[in-house]
Amino acid sequence: MGTTAEDVVQHINLLLQLNDWSLRTIAALEMKAGFCWVQAKLACLVAAFAMTPDDLGENWAMVEFI
């Protein structure tokens, strides 16, 4: 909070892949029951590795932030 879009890159220390998967058929039933998404969100959503911006080298400089 309080960081401008131009300065945010300086605060990124670690990168990982996160896949937001939802089982929509199950989710609709769970939302009606009022328990939020218990079984509709998969447990293995994060990649098995992480990297620093330095690991990406010049490719990191090509990333644009909004």
One pLDDT digit (tens) per residue for the chain, 66 residues: 788 877 888 888 998 887 777 777 888 888 888 777 777 777 667 777 889 989 988 888 766 665
What pLDDT is attached to residue 65? Answer: 62
CB 20 within 8 A of CB 45: yes
CB 35 within 8 A of CB 19: no
How is the chain split into domains, by residue range?
A: 8-61
What pLDDT is attached to residue 44? Answer: 65
Q: Whole-model pTM?
A: 0.51
Buried b (16+ CB within 10 A) or exposed e, 38-49: eebeeeeeeeee
CB 26 within 8 A of CB 54: no
Tell me the CA distances in angstroms from 26 to 10, 20, 35, 38, 50, one per residue in order: 40, 15, 12, 9, 30
